[in-house]
Structure 1
């Protein structure tokens, strides 16, 4: 059988728009015949490189107000629950490390959706080990060994490498979708376009 096209889904667990994308990407990708690679990373170091000490949605209040209204509208359209976590943005380090550790077991997608659902669907703190432990138990994995594996030097190094790769490939926000040819699409509202591009569709007249 011919190999399916691949789309890299770069996301940060602190990103509300990544929540929207993560909760809808799999059925859309399956319908398009596209394989999704789940690529958790940290936006914090990328923001820091631009001189930002926090999310731009906090640094620029008008942008933040618009974002939350926009996410509220889109969550309602998609019939997704939405509850703003406090504080925002959440510390996503532990969740990102765990997603990488679980990726090798084929559980990155299920873990990612569960974390986003707890964070933005229920307003829970994803830096709370109790919340994370509940999610891991629901996935049927051993909590202690999984948390321990996520703290291993190899996983920590991998997350740093993933974040650096995101930076060097020009990623500046989340979610970002990268096609095999390097074409980039930024934002939840570009998911359908990214999937179409991954399958070879091109807008008429595009140079």
Structure 2
């Protein structure tokens, strides 16, 4: 039997967006199951002395990233909206609440649709995913039941997200998207197929 793949992502990550819109189809083609793992890259970047995205720390790298993501989105037949196009301070977006809500959503059948829809809202529709109402609207449309906002902001769920970030650190994850198959780590959207092949072998 193929091993499962854990897909670690931050909703602010451009390359995680590229993975999110295609990972389920790619995994199904290889009969591999995927667990979606929302995390926050901020605490991970802080380990390296960064207080923001490395794409802002190193502007030339950021300039390349934007063009690369545009090309890759076009190849996938997806539209692409650049967060921060009107104000550079809008990138990376604040994703704590989105990650907390994703944990609740992923407890049910609508979780993956919720996560994918958050990425689409941010990187295709240009919406503000730090806005609670935007996230609630996405959750309702995705079919997430109950008071997701209340559940997401509970002390227990906040601790749950912190624990997942600590687990990511223990797995030596340093960016997103990352994929783990057991203790084997793959980093980057362009390593998705490698991770799936490793799981399926």
| TM-score (ref. length: structure 2) | 0.94
Among candidates 150, 153, 171, match of residue 152 of structure 2: 150
CA distance in 2, matches of 1:107, 1:162: 20
Shift of 1:5: 2.0
How many residues were matched structurally? 196
Q: Is the 8 A contact 2:117 2:142 kept in 1?
A: no
Aligned match of 2:172: 170
Aligned match of 1:92: 95
**Structure ID, larger Rg:** 1
Q: Map Cα deviations across residues 145-179 of structure 1 (whole Å, 9 max, x no partner).
A: 11000011111001000001101110000000101
Aligned match of 2:127: 124
Shift of 1:4: 4.4
Residue 134 (1) aligns with residue 132 (2): no
Map 1:1-207; keep pairs closer than 5 Å.
3-86=1-84, 87-142=90-145, 145-180=147-182, 182-200=183-201
CA distance in 2, matches of 1:52, 1:150: 27
CA distance in 2, matches of 1:153, 1:107: 23
CA distance in 2, matches of 1:49, 1:100: 24
CA distance in 1, matches of 2:16, 2:143: 25
Specify the SS of the correspondent of 1:184: strand
| Consecutive unaligned residues in structure 2, runs of 5 or more | 85-89
| Consecutive unaligned residues in structure 1, runs of 5 or more | 201-207
RMSD over aligned CA atoms reads 1.1
| TM-score (ref. length: structure 1) | 0.92
Q: Map Cα deviations across residues 67-111 of structure 1 (whole Å, 9 max, x no partner).
A: 000000000000111001230000010110011011111322111
CA distance in 2, matches of 1:163, 1:169: 10
Specify the SS of the correspondent of 1:198: helix
Give the ranges of 4+ consecutive aligned residues of structure 1 lying more than 4 Å apart after TM superposition. Answer: none
